[in-house]
Amino acid sequence: MDTTDKTLYADVLVIGFGKGGKVTAAKVGDLGKRVVLVEQSDQMYGGTCPNVGCVPTKALVHHSGKRRSGDSVKEFYERSVEHVEALTSLFRSGNYDALNNADTVTVITGRATFVDPHTVAVGVGEDRLTVVAEKILINTGSEPVIPDITGLRGSKYTLTSTDLIHTTDLPERLAIVGGGYLGIEFAAIYARFGSHVTVFEAAPKILGREDDDVAAVAEDILAGEGIEIITGARVLEIRDGENEATVVFENGGLEHTQGVDAILAATGRVPATRGLGLEAAGVRTTSNGAVEVDEYLRTSQPHIYALGDVNGGPQFTYISLDDSRIVVDQLVGEGRRSTADRVAIPRTLFMTPPFASVGLTEREAREAGYLVKVTSQPVAEIVAMPRAYAVEETRGIMKFVIDGWTDEILGAALLSIDAQELINTVTLAMRYGIKAAQLRDAIYTHPSSTEAFNDVLATVVRMDEPHGSPA
């Protein structure tokens, strides 16, 4: 690439190499648009998912279950991290080559800062480039947040999720501050590798959004893996020692301490907008720093779009992918697609076995005024699911929440082997109006996990008393 004049002109500029941005860049580039994609780090080609998110963490889930009784815990973990890093390196180079080798796409590595609504500066000093574009896409993702707890940010024992997956030294005692999806997933991974894991969760229970019966099964499974979960725990302070950190926390009105070798701050991620110079572009942000967008993902500057985690939407790679469909439709399509088109978005927690859910919980459905019927079964009691026994994973529960008037599926919670796949079938049923009875009576391959639906949906265990008629 010849950058002698220090200025590049593009039809579309993409800031950030995340899922939504790279897919949009590839598609509009294929249509002949001149595209420049700027990524601040050569370790993040492809975005969060293949580098520090979905791919490495799920690979660690896989590796954590392969350790044999005779394996050295620390050596096995070190080898596992090395295997995972080799995998992410492969994904990273593949993502870079796929875009940079395209005739119409140029990838630049450096930090982008807005100069005005159509111009960004990349880099500083003699390496500084200017990119001028007709359309601009902000796709910078999110970054871990470390809560404001005394001593936590300055502790030499504090790690973010990104830090932890790159360390080859398995912590013997791992404290996790935060019992949400991120915290629980890492607890499950590192407990299986051999760490003694303690989760400190301020809420009265983990998975607080879920129904109590489902959350209780999940907590029992985690406890069975040796994970200590302290709910109602308020971490007050982290004190560094020479060889360990001390977690000071309040629980049940009393102050306690616990010595640990590492602390994972797992209290969420925030949109990565610092240093972008959004003020110079006239781009507004929300109170939590997310780029403010409308249903077509347009910012306060109509020619600038925001995709993925940075726009404050659900922090899932598949949402970022759908964001790209909306933006591509805006750039080269009919401009009709929007976030309002989304129905039944599933989510998965990759503990072992995985927990996947979609739609309303039983509690939410009742609060919304539905006539609710519920069907629920422990996996170990599902006769039509021999796969669970074949792979020796019978822990968990399957639960469906159904509209008592229409037989439509309002929501599902699947804590079982293959739940991350099963939930997609349920989601499709919900999107396209397939009734619970139709899902129940469908023909599935055998032995498979999906055929569990034949059993689970055959028995209603709880139903509201009918009153009135459907509106």
22 sits in which H/E element? helix 19-30
277: which DSSP letter? -
Tell me the domains of the chain and their CATH numbers: 7-144+270-341 (3.50.50.60), 158-267 (3.50.50.60), 347-463 (3.30.390.30)
* Annotated catalytic residue within 83, 166, 446, 467: 446
Q: String of b and e for 351-370 (b: at least 16 CB within 10 Å)?
A: bbbbbbbbbbbbebbeeeeb
Local structure of 199: helix, strand or coil: strand
Give 238-296 pLDDT, tens digit per residue: 999 999 999 999 999 999 999 999 999 999 899 999 999 999 999 999 988 999 999 99
Q: What is the pLDDT of residue 225?
A: 95
Q: Are 310 and 271 in contact (CB under 8 A)?
A: yes
Q: What is the pLDDT of residue 50?
A: 83
Give 24-80 pLDDT, tens digit per residue: 999 999 999 999 999 998 888 888 888 878 888 889 989 988 888 888 889 999 999
- The CA distance from 320 to 20, in Å, is 5
Q: Are 235 and 247 in contact (CB under 8 A)?
A: yes
Q: Which positions ≥6 away from 199 have C-beta within 8 Å?
A: 176, 178, 179, 183, 184, 187, 206, 227, 228, 229, 230
Cα angle 342-343-349, degrees, rounded to a multiple of 5: 100
Length, in residues, of the chain: 471
Tell me which residue has tokens 């995985």: 354
Written as one letter, the residue type at 27 is: K
- The CA distance from 186 to 191, in Å, is 8
Q: String of b and e for 194-211 (b: at least 16 CB within 10 Å)?
A: bbbbbbbbbeebbbeebb
Task: Count, in order, helices (H) and strands (E) of the chain.
Answer: 14, 23
Q: Are 57 and 165 in contact (CB under 8 A)?
A: yes
* CA 384 to chain centroid: 31
Q: Which of 130, 113, 101, 129 lies closest to 25 in space, CA to CA? A: 101
Q: Which of 194, 212, 195 lies closest to 204 in space, CA to CA? A: 212
471: which DSSP letter? -
Backbone angles phi, psi at 282, to 5 degrees: 75, 30
- The CA distance from 471 to 405, in Å, is 10
Q: Which of 189, 191, 179, 200 lies closest to 226 in space, CA to CA? A: 191
- Token pair of 453, please? 């639906």
Q: What is the pLDDT of residue 172?
A: 96
Q: Are 331 and 302 in contact (CB under 8 A)?
A: no
Running along the chain, 471 residues long, what does each successive block of 10 average in pLDDT?
70 95 95 95 84 86 86 90 91 89 93 96 87 97 93 96 93 96 95 96 94 96 96 96 96 96 94 95 94 98 97 93 97 96 95 97 96 96 94 97 97 98 98 96 95 94 64 47
**Is 467 a residue of the active site?**
no
